[in-house]
């Protein structure tokens, strides 16, 4: 059973990756390169999961979700994150996600989580705004402060 679950999951990722790469072809200019590359990478990793599962001899049954409480907590926080990106901005919502999720799942070293969140957001800024020259949308609080000045 475990073997079939992994093969199916890998093939789902292959399908999603191919679909994402195919859709990215329609984006104008160079803006399709990044999602196309991510789609191809997802498809390759999905293929690797399926091939590895097909080659393995494992057949034991396993639970689909080991910790349902954590799964639903994560789904709820992820939904809140998606809802908060537009009103708060990508960086603010992402830092909140990176603090709320570990805390909700039992990680109690808030200082460590804050440092990781800030370093990760700095890396995201450097990759998108500096390296790719594709800045993410401006933070809502900066727009409000800028409008009042």
Which residues of the chain have a pLDDT value below 70?
1-2, 29-31, 58-62, 64-65, 141-149
Query: What per-residue confidence (pLDDT) applies to 149?
Result: 46
What pLDDT, on a 0 to 100 scale, did the predictor assign at position 17? Answer: 94
CB hemisphere CA count around 99 (13 angstroms): 13
Q: Which residue has the tokens 């999602």?
A: 35
pLDDT, position 49: 92
pLDDT by residue (tens digit) across 70-112?
Answer: 999 999 999 999 999 888 888 889 999 999 999 999 988 989 9
């Amino acid at each position: 059973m475990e073997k079939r679950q992994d093969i199916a999951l890998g093939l789902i990722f292959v399908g999603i990756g191919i679909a994402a790469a195919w859709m990215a072809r329609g984006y104008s200019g160079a803006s399709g390169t990044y999602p196309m590359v991510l789609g191809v990478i997802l498809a390759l990793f999905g293929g690797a999961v399926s091939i590895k599962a097909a080659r393995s001899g494992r057949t034991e049954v396993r639970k689909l979700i080991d910790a349902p409480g954590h799964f639903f907590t994560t789904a709820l926080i992820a939904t809140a994150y998606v809802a908060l990106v537009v009103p708060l901005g990508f960086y603010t919502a992402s830092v909140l996600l990176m603090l709320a999720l570990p805390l909700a799942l039992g990680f109690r070293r808030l200082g460590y989580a804050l440092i990781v969140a800030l370093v990760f957001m700095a890396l995201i800024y450097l990759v998108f705004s500096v390296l790719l020259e594709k800045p993410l949308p401006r933070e809502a609080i900066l727009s409000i402060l800028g409008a009042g000045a």
